[in-house]
Amino acid sequence: MKTGKLLAILFFLTSGVVAKNIQVKNASELNKAIGSAVAGDAILMQPGEWKDVKILFNSKASKAKPITLKADQAGKVMLSGESSLSFDAPYLVVEGLLFKDGSLKKGSVIQFNSDYCKLENTAIVDFNPSQKSTGYYWVLFRGNNNLMQYCSFKGKNNMQPLVGNDQDNSRYNTVQYCYFKDIPYTPDNGREIFRIWGYGRSEETGDDGAFFTIKNNLFERAHGEGMEIISLKSNRNKVIGNTVISTKGGIVGRSGNFNTIEENFIFGENEKGSYGIRLAGQGHHVVNNYVRDVDGDGLILICGEYIEKALTDKYEPILRAGTPLGRVPRYGHVKDGLYVNNTFLNVGGAGINIGGSYNGNPGADQRMLLPENNTITHNIISTKSGKNAIQATSPSQNPILANFKFKSNILGSNLVYDNGAEPDSGVKETPITINGKEYKIPFASKKDTLITSKPGVRIKNKPLSSKEVGVKWSI
């Protein structure tokens, strides 16, 4: 009997350590807790201002038992000054922090340097340097399979994108249910809200990619550079179910191939500089997007650059070491894509622009690869007075380009309405209110397929509101 009790006690002592909550109230205690925490523990930062705290989160967690670092009261732990956070080991979770009124000289405010980590219910507000030319990301992914969700971002005004994915060893990261609000506009290239680097940046067409997912996020007056809200510069990414309101720029496939852009809502509200979707590269899947009241074009399939050889002595290629030809195109050739069941209403430019930025007289660049073999069907288009619903560029008769031949694009069953008319989609519509204005959005039925007999969107989800995204506390 006594032996049985002794064995039970020994089993209890050796079967594992019970997870615990570790309260910390200053940087010294925080660092000590990070070093001593075991799998399953939670480190609780106490309310107050934490100034110049560089959190190097490298506790030893496991998939079954992650270690969590969080504010004891969400939103009440304010990191200011030169504070920053880095995930430096796998299976770590951070919750409820507020980065506000600080600035960095270099680095990133939050950086994922490891894999399988999660950031949620955290905000960054006005974390800007005194000189706008001092550039840094607010969030940078340098690992794999990381997740950021229900976070809020407001006021970034300096150089570099707000969110970035690194060129190497950064795959399968996801940002979802986040709120990007009131990012001021300055005409400085390189201030995208998202810039997704990875395999495909130099127009590689192999099986690799960044595999980044941008899903169910809300962008409201998130102007940044005013050209590219989301800039994909890699292969095989997904941009799905996002809502964009009153924001300059558009969703862009800047370089890379085989990206999916699906079921996004873009409400331009006639914001100057707003447009829908702009793409370069091949094999893209652009389906069921709803774009209305933008200042520019609804969909732009731009011309690619020919780089095999110089056509004139004026050619100035973009050189990049490690690529097959030692150079890369300014824009990849748009071909073999699927552009189906999208709706472009009351757009200020063309509904669909096929062959934008064509250069029939080659000079420093050689932008004459017209889009080819793309399926562009079952879209609804309504433009403002005097604008073309579908604008297609014809090949130049310049003798230099005589040998360039392109396959036809497949256009069919697109419905066109003039002067900003509100077309009847012919399917069930649900009223949705955006900034006090009601819109009727066509929703999918169980019988709908990708290409149906009736053009236009078949949306499964409604536009997002501020109540459905971002932190669960006020900023």
pLDDT in tens, the chain (475 residues): 455 554 444 444 444 567 899 999 999 999 999 999 999 999 999 999 999 999 999 999 999 999 999 999 999 999 999 999 999 999 999 999 999 999 999 999 999 999 999 999 999 999 999 999 999 999 999 999 999 999 999 999 999 999 999 999 999 999 999 999 999 999 999 999 999 999 999 999 999 999 999 999 999 999 999 999 999 999 999 999 999 999 999 999 999 999 999 999 999 999 999 999 999 999 999 999 999 999 999 999 999 999 999 999 999 999 999 999 999 999 999 999 999 999 999 999 999 999 999 999 999 999 999 999 999 998 999 998 777 899 999 999 999 998 999 999 999 888 887 666 666 656 667 778 888 888 877 766 666 665 555 677 767 788 999 999 999 999 8
Type and span of the H or E element at 164: strand 163-165
Instruction: Give the integer Cα–Cα distance in Å for 384 and 367.
Output: 28
According to the model, what pLDDT value does residue 420 have?
60
Q: In angstroms, how far is CA 188 from the centroid of its own chain?
A: 19
- Could you tell me which residues come within 8 angstroms of residue 444 by beta carbon, excluding any fewer than 6 positions away? 458, 459, 460
Instruction: Give the integer Cα–Cα distance in Å for 441 and 458.
Output: 9
- Could you tell me which residues come within 8 angstroms of residue 245 by beta carbon, excluding any fewer than 6 positions away? 218, 219, 220, 221, 267, 269, 434, 435
According to the model, what pLDDT value does residue 71 have?
98
Sketch the domain layout of the chain as residue ranges: 28-468
Q: What are the backbone angles phi and psi of residue 6, rounded to the nearest 5°?
A: -65, -45
Q: Helix, strand, or coil here: 453?
A: coil
Instruction: Give the integer Cα–Cα distance in Å for 168 and 192.
Output: 19
Contact 459, 288 (CB under 8 A): yes
Q: What is the dihedral of CA 442, 443, 447, 451, to 10 degrees?
A: 60
Instruction: Give the integer Cα–Cα distance in Å for 156 and 104.
Output: 12
According to the model, what pLDDT value does residue 8 have?
45
According to the model, what pLDDT value does residue 419 have?
64
Instruction: Give the integer Cα–Cα distance in Å for 307 and 332.
Output: 10
According to the model, what pLDDT value does residue 436 have?
85
Instruction: Give the integer Cα–Cα distance in Å for 355 and 180.
Output: 31
According to the model, what pLDDT value does residue 423 have?
64
**Is the CATH number 2.160.20.10 carried by domain 28-468?**
yes
**What angle is formed at CA 197 by the lines to CA 191 and CA 203, rounded to 5 degrees?**
120
According to the model, what pLDDT value does residue 359 have?
92
Contact 156, 195 (CB under 8 A): no
Q: Rg of the chain over CA atoms, in angstroms?
A: 25
Contact 116, 142 (CB under 8 A): no
According to the model, what pLDDT value does residue 437 have?
86
Q: Which residue has the tokens 């496939």?
A: 253
Q: How would you classify the pairing of strands 123-125 and 152-154? A: parallel
pTM beyond cutoff 0.75? yes
Identity of the residue numbered 81: G
In angstroms, what CA-CA distances link 170 with 115, 190, 343, 367, 446?
Answer: 9, 20, 33, 31, 37
Give strand pairing partners of 57.
87
Q: What are the backbone angles phi and psi of residue 36, rounded to the nearest 5°?
A: -100, -15
Burial class of residue 11 in the structure, from the number of CB atoms within 10 Å of its CB (0-12 exposed, 13-18 middle, 19+ buried):
exposed
Instruction: Give the integer Cα–Cα distance in Å for 335 and 202.
Output: 16
